[in-house]
Structure 1
Amino acid sequence: MKRFLLPLLLLLFSTFSHAQNDLLPADEAFSFKAKVVNDEILLNWDVAQGYYLYKEKIKISSDFSIQLGTAKFPKAKIKNDEFFGKIGVYRNNVVVAIPVLEGDARSVQLNVGFQGCADLGVCYPPITKSVALDISSIHKPSLVDDALNIFSKAKVGVQSVVEKAVSISDEPLPADKAFAFSVTAIDSNTLLATWDVHPEYYLYHDKFFIETTGAEIGDVAFPKGKEKDDPLFGKVQIHKGQLNVEIPLKNIKSLPITFTAKFQGCWLGGICYPPMEKTTTITLPIQGVQTTTVAESSNMPSTPNAAESVPATVLDKTASVELNETDKITDILKQGDVLWTLGWFFVIGLGLSLTPCVFPMIPILSGIIVGQKGITTRKALIMSIVFVLAMS
């Protein structure tokens, strides 16, 4: 038996050694090149005769992937591979095109991985190639683009000069002075919100938020702001000087109504204030009656470092308005003393104990009373009263 095994092993070893000597180096079997043509990067493989490249094993990555489009692969031939089963392979010459998109990158670093085999039945380990390509000549701006770019830079420069022309104070103002806010009712269905912005300050257009309690807000025509290249938020719209916004109301349910405005702004000296919130109570005038004075309050800091709010001072109701039933009850409870209010709540509780939702408790209470051993009528009555009082 040993006489047969030894020649067989020698034959296998000699065959393997012969195959190893016939294999080409990986760089010769799969010669790889990359170059830029027009607005594409072309990856080229020259595959030697008797060798093939796996399509699924080609992996492409870059340090500027966002500036590269989707790679375009040629159609591969399906091979029933002894290692990977049915898989696409390339032979002879292979070209993969990668579109280059517009961007700021002037060069890209490509990392390309691939793997192939020889028809002899030997597969090479995965190969990785790194290439640096110059793409600065792609998507060069036209003369029109250059002109527009120069004009844009000049416009920004003029705006910065104008802003610098405004004398800036040494310290920032309190928020209530930098962004003086007020709101009044100009008629029974319209409010007028006003912001008096100091010349050294500005408000962000997209940071405004308004809401009301007791009424709904209709369609508001908010003025368009001026564009500014802001260091914090990029290109944004801002408002300077005086800003007036008319706010239509609809479906007014209760009076007075509460108006809340939220906004945020900055100082040209380089400090931005935290978001501010102003809450105002407004009594709308009856049709034909003069507008009422309102009370204003704030629950946000008045300066960038302050933590206390500035309370408002005046609430002048010059028009009496008929209240609905809910407001009438609320007004009555506000005017009464503590004992009278507790009595009211007790009476209301007694009424609630007779509502249908309490009916399911009656058989439960009856079962508890009947289940007591040796219970007297007086004790049963006391238990019923305790239940009703507790429910009240």
Structure 2
Amino acid sequence: MLRCLRTFAALLALASTTPAFAVDESDLLPVDEAFVIEASAPSADRVEFQIKIAEGYYLYRHRFAAKALDAGVSTGAVELPPGTPKHDEFFGDVETYRNGMTLALPEVQAGDARQLKVELRYQGCADLGICYPPQKRVFDVALPIPSTPSPLAASLPGAAAPPGLNFGTDSTTPVFDEGMPLPEEEAFKFEAIAVSPVELLLRFTPAPGYYLYQDRNQFRLLDAKGATLAAPQWPKGKAHTDEHFGDVIVYFDQIEVPLGLRRTDGKAGPVTLEATFQGCQNNGICYPPMTRQVEISLPTASADQLVSLADTSATKKAGADASASFVLILLAALGGGLILNLMPCVLPV
């Protein structure tokens, strides 16, 4: 009997355990704290980016790109210092930066402009084993007043050509590596609408060359207003052997996912749906779990479409009664066995 009770207690303890992730995402710094960036112009024809990199984090050299966003402004190619060689599980043999570094956008031809808008793209990771999505930041940089060259210097060979006469590649639109991962908002688009008072329709659109996991998602209502979510109805996906999660089901193309609602309040009004999902670039990086919030306008629900509070309470009470009955039956069985063990063995002669 004691052995049975111990076994039952062990089963209850096992059922109450929950899986844990190997990496606690709360230990990860926000990207703007992991990589602190300042942009300045030491001269009218040069913009520099000073980057402080937190300990335990690094940036990829080949993921940097920069350009001027103002019309009519041209620049030279980005100047990057040498990095530290590293063999990366995602990109192979690369160079990385730690602690800090400075890169520059030279040969800026901005005419009489005293303010310049520049875009910087970059990507980095943490030693914890998580990589940030590709980042894109825009900086407003004040340009110093250039010194006026003498007419003789302007006429010498090699003098800078005036704006609009810069020959060669127009670096206002530099060529980005086509294999560079997109920012997560571009790689995975998410939309949601109410198609009826009791059903939502979710739409996921992975960019070409990207895929979405079927089982790496979670949905909830932030301001439920008497509504709860049913299980999402995922369409048939594609079997895929993934280096991170093994054999999984994924989606490479746009999909629509019905998501049912159970409502106790039929009034029309807005609710906010929070969706968390995860995907990867094919033969590239995997993004950390992404969370999006969408405000949805729910139409008025009829009485037939509502779930009454009485039904909800009855369902909860039935579940509680069933649990209580199970415990009573178990105790009765254990007690009966104990009584039988204590009774003398009396058989008819």
* Structure 1 or 2: more strand by fraction: 2
TM-score tier (shorter): 0.3 to 0.5
**Larger gyration radius, structure 1 or structure 2:** 1
**Quick check: which one's helix share is greater?**
1
Q: TM-score w.r.t. structure 2 length?
A: 0.36
Q: Tell me the TM-score normalized by structure 1.
A: 0.32
